[in-house]
Amino acid sequence: DAMVIQNPRYQVTQFGKPVTLSCSQTLNHNVMYWYQQKSSQAPKLLFHYYDKDFNNEADTPDNFQSRRPNTSFCFLDIRSPGLGDAAMYLCATSRDLQVRTDTQYFGPGTRLTVL
Amino acid sequence: GDSVTQMEGPVTLSEEAFLTINCTYTATGYPSLFWYVQYPGEGLQLLLKATKADDKGSNKGFEATYRKETTSFHLEKGSVQVSDSAVYFCALSDLRGAGSYQLTFGKGTKLSVIP
């Protein structure tokens, strides 16, 4: 089945220790997104890639970076995690950015704990 | 800007009860509308969508009709099951700056179904 895969499902890191979360997709979609979801809240968009073009949301902290080495993979790097960065991180994909009827497909998420 | 308002949760129902979760929206353009479901510890799954006025999205016994005149997209199910216990997010996709469509989520409604 075509899908969005996130690894690991659970990640524990220490305060200030860099961490990388991984997302891969078999849908061959052009767009990949990273969202942060804190407990009992709606997902918050951090940034997205359209192919190799990176678009950062205005309020995304500099501590969050992303890489997309190819169509299938996208990484979220947190350079110096703080306690406030503990959250569920969701990866999503969509076929295009300019299609009103397009759908975003989400992965299962990575739960990040910061000690 | 765009916004989505969902009824406050949590909602607790007995098995086989009728479910309605209200969702209203404001949008500057002509959005597509979505319901996503999030089971405990999981990512978001697309439940249903509607892309134009009077369209009805349906899946797994859930339905929602795109009502442009009332700017609403209420989720309904005739007979809920314990397995429907989850958080339900209403969302819209509308045109943002730079010509791209992005999702705006409601805050989510937690549903608990008891046997």
Mean of pLDDT values over A25-40: 94
Mean of pLDDT values over B1-16: 92
* Whole-number pLDDT of residue A2: 63
For the segment B67-84, what is each residue's pLDDT rounded down to a tens digit? 999 999 999 999 999 999
Q: What's the 3-state SS for A41-107?
A: CCCEEEEEEECCEEEECCCCCCCEEEECCCCCEEEEEECCCCHHHCEEEEEEEECCCCCCCCCCEEC
Which residues contact residue B108 at a Cβ distance below 8 angstroms, ignoring those fewer than 6 apart?
A40, A41, A42, B6, B9, B38, B87, B88, B89
Q: Which residues 51-70 on chain A approach chain B with CB closer than 8 angstroms?
A: 55
Mean of pLDDT values over A102-113: 94
pLDDT band at A1 (very low <50, low <70, confident <90, very high): low
* Whole-number pLDDT of residue A44: 93
A6: contact with B, CB 8 A cutoff? yes
**Greater model confidence, A16 or A39:** A16
Q: Which residues 80-109 on chain A approach chain B with CB closer than 8 angstroms?
A: 88, 90, 92, 97-109
Are the Cβ atoms of A100 and B31 closer than 8 angstroms?
yes
For the segment A35-62, what is each residue's pLDDT rounded down to a tens digit? 999 988 899 999 999 999 999 999 999 9
Scanning the structure block, which residue is given the tokens 């989505």? B4
